[in-house]
Amino acid sequence: MVTVSRKPLPRPYVLASLATLALTVVATVVGLFVPEFYRDDPVLLPQVYGQDLLTLLVGVPTLAVSLYYAHRGSLRGYVVWLGVTGYLLYTYASYAFMAAFNELYLVYTTLLWLTLFTFVGGMVRLDAAALKREHGDASVWPYVGFQLLVVLLVSLLWLSEILPATLAGTTPASIADPGLPTSVIYSLDLGVVVPAFALASYWLWQRRSWGYAFAAVLLVKIATLGGAVLAMIVYMVRDGQTVALPQIVIFAALTLAGVGLMVRFLLTLSPGAEPTRSRSDADSEFRA
């Protein structure tokens, strides 16, 4: 029987998450309710509003609740806390690098380093072996297959825009229409998200401990990020913009599948499972 962990989160991570919560509320409330606050091209505004709405209504409460349980020693809470922190890291990296300069620029950059600090530190402390042990002998193929599907669909979606423009010597419409120098979303998805899912699926296929850890955290991230994309699509349709049906179908399917697999994975974790590991176990876990 696994004993309940009474080891709280280190104070720096708690304080960083509390600061993240406060600044995220400020950023989203100002963005949503201050008229004409954003200075971005009108074609981008529905996406920003959709992101802010999902972040405020789902991201903030989920981070607050998961932080509480993670601090009390819950492995489930810890995994969700890391996943939502990863979602906010992705979100405010895109704001810091892509949003037109406004009065919240320093808030975006502060959120960027707060979430990066928390996410990296939290992943280092995560007991990957405990996740593998809790999952037991249950099949990993649903998670491996889903992660490979994310890699395939996201790659095809963006490369279908990038490759024709590259071969024609032009610029994709999603960059040219709003007058952007490049797409931060292309860069984050193809440079970070897709490789992360590919590596996680490979490690999980080999039943390495860190395959379980990355799979669990990425499932939470893709569920929240997928919800944000769907919120963006709703705002874009309301604004009269045309959204390709394949994009709607792809993101809706990935979001629903991600939520279902996230819940399935979390339910395999017992309430008493310990979320963090001792420092002496680090090297052996990376080799497992």
Q: Stretch 152-167: mean pLDDT, rounded?
A: 94
pLDDT value, residue 254:
86
- Output the average pLDDT for the chain: 90
- Residue 140 predicted with pLDDT over 50: yes
CA pair distance 70, 158, nearest whole angstrom? 35
CA atoms within 13 A on the CB side of 110: 16
Pick the closest to residue 222 from 131, 126, 86 (CA basis). 86
Please report whether residue 4 resides in a domain.
no
Please report whether residue 3 resides in a domain.
no
Please report whether residue 2 resides in a domain.
no
pLDDT bucket at 2, cuts 50 / 70 / 90:
very low
Please report whether residue 51 resides in a domain.
yes
Give per-residue burial for 45-71: e unless 16+ CB within 10 Å, then b. bbbbbbbbbbbbebbbebbeebbebbb
Please report whether residue 5 resides in a domain.
no
- Residue 197 predicted with pLDDT over 50: yes
What percent helix, strand, coil does the chain show, rounded to 5? 75, 0, 25
Tokens at 80, concatenated: 């969700």
pLDDT value, residue 277:
62
pLDDT value, residue 243:
82
CA pair distance 4, 72, nearest whole angstrom? 9
- Residue 282 predicted with pLDDT over 60: no
3-state per-residue secondary structure call for 110-156 = HHHHHHHHHHHHHHHHECHHHHHHHHCCCCCHHHHHHHHHHHHHHHH
**30-58 pLDDT, tens per residue?**
999 999 999 999 999 999 999 999 999 99
- Residue 226 predicted with pLDDT over 80: yes
pLDDT value, residue 79:
95
* Count of domains observed in the chain: 1
pLDDT value, residue 288:
46
pLDDT value, residue 246:
77
- Residue 145 predicted with pLDDT over 80: yes
Please report whether residue 242 resides in a domain.
yes
Please report whether residue 261 resides in a domain.
yes
Residue 277 belongs to domain spanning: 11-287
pLDDT value, residue 117:
97
**100-132 pLDDT, tens per residue?**
999 999 999 999 999 999 999 999 999 999 999
CA distances from 184 to 30, 93, 96, 174, 176 (A): 23, 9, 10, 11, 13
Please report whether residue 266 resides in a domain.
yes
**5-18 pLDDT, tens per residue?**
457 899 999 999 99
pLDDT value, residue 250:
81
CA pair distance 207, 36, nearest whole angstrom? 50
What is the dihedral angle through the alpha carbons of 118, 87, 158, 155, rounded to the nearest 10 degrees? 70
The amino acid at residue 36 is E
